[in-house]
Amino acid sequence: MNIKVIAFDADDTLWVNEPYFLEAENKFCALLEDYLPHHTISQELFKTQMDNLPLYGYGVKNFTLCMVETALRISDNTLNVSILEKIIKNGKEMLQKPIELLDGVEETLQALSEKYRLVVATKGDLLDQERKLKKSGIEHYFHHIEIMSEKKTPDYEKLIKHLDIKPEEFLMIGNSIKSDVLPVLEIGGYGVHVPYHTTWAYEKVDHNIDSPNFRKVDSIKEILPFLLG
Ligand SMILES: [Mg+2]
């Protein structure tokens, strides 16, 4: 192995994210419980998100707009404005959540930064991801921050080109097989999967990976012997 750059996904790899979305979704479903059962509202919200993804991209602002649109649809445009106001407030609250680093993140970055160039490769709202990085206290470990609108093979090819390295010198670590691992393996890089206890439905894949460039670890710290040994 001749890895030069290690890229980290951010949400649910470096810090807590998905639980905040689940919390907001639960609040949203509770606000609309007069119209539909909880799980049906969740399905409707997911459908709106999928429809809007090409227009809005990822992140909290997209999510908030999708909650508004779903609420209007579910209520057949009869929604009380006070509920609308609460939905918008919930979205704003998501943008002010504390940054909670996941277990072992700081020590892993510290150790790897002595041998590798570290970068962040994340989706989401530009402003929100910048806020989270600033507040995280770990921004100084990274040589480069890439906030991407998608994480597919062309996006990684672009990033690798920008970093001026070859795909086989690039290793990506993240909690999503679909976004953080498969496209990187496809272009000849290395992928490490660190599962998080909860995964957004969109990122879930049923996939057995049989590649010498892949490994799965239970905790981010477990990559240290592999990368520093
Ligand atoms: Mg993630």
Distance from Cα 173 to the centre of ligand 1, integer Å: 9
DSSP class of residue 123 equals -
Residue 59 CA, ligand 1 centroid: distance in Å: 11
The Å distance, Cα 205 to ligand 1 centre, comes to 14
Q: Quote the ligand 1 centre to 175 CA distance (angstroms).
A: 5
Please give the distance, rounded to the nearest whole angstrom, from the Cα atom of residue 79 to the centre of ligand 1: 33
Q: At what angle do helices 81-94 and 18-31 cross, to 10 degrees?
A: 170
Distance CA 215, CA 131 (A): 31
Angle ∠(58,61,62) on CA atoms, nearest 5: 45
Q: Is the pLDDT of residue 180 over 90?
A: yes
- Taking the centre of ligand 1 as the mean of its atom positions, its distance from the CA of residue 76, in whole angstroms, is 34
Handedness of CA 71, 77, 80, 85 (dihedral sign): positive
Distance CA 157, CA 174 (A): 17
Predicted confidence band of residue 128 (pLDDT cuts 50, 70, 90): very high
pLDDT of 208: 83
Instruction: Report pLDDT for 1.
Output: 84
Q: 174: CA distance to ligand 1 center in Å?
A: 6
How far does residue 133's CA lie from ligand 1's centre (Å)? 14
pLDDT of residue 205: 81
Which CATH number is associated with domain 18-94? 1.10.150.240
Is the CA virtual torsion 141, 115, 7, 164 positive or negative?
A: positive
Pairwise CA distance, residues 171 & 80, whole Å:
49
Q: How far is the CA of 36 from the centre of ligand 1 (A)?
A: 30
Domain boundaries, the chain: 5-16+100-228, 18-94
Beta-strand relationship, 170-174 and 144-147: unpaired
Same fold flag, 5-16+100-228 and 18-94: no
pLDDT tops 80 at residue 207: no
In a 13 Å sphere around the CA of 139, the CA atoms on its Cβ side amount to: 12
For domain 5-16+100-228, give the fold.
Answer: Rossmann fold (3.40.50)
Closest by CA to 207, choosing from 186, 182, 173, is 182
Q: Please give the average per-residue pLDDT across 121-146, as a whole number.
A: 95
Confidence band, pLDDT 50/70/90 cuts, at residue 137 = very high
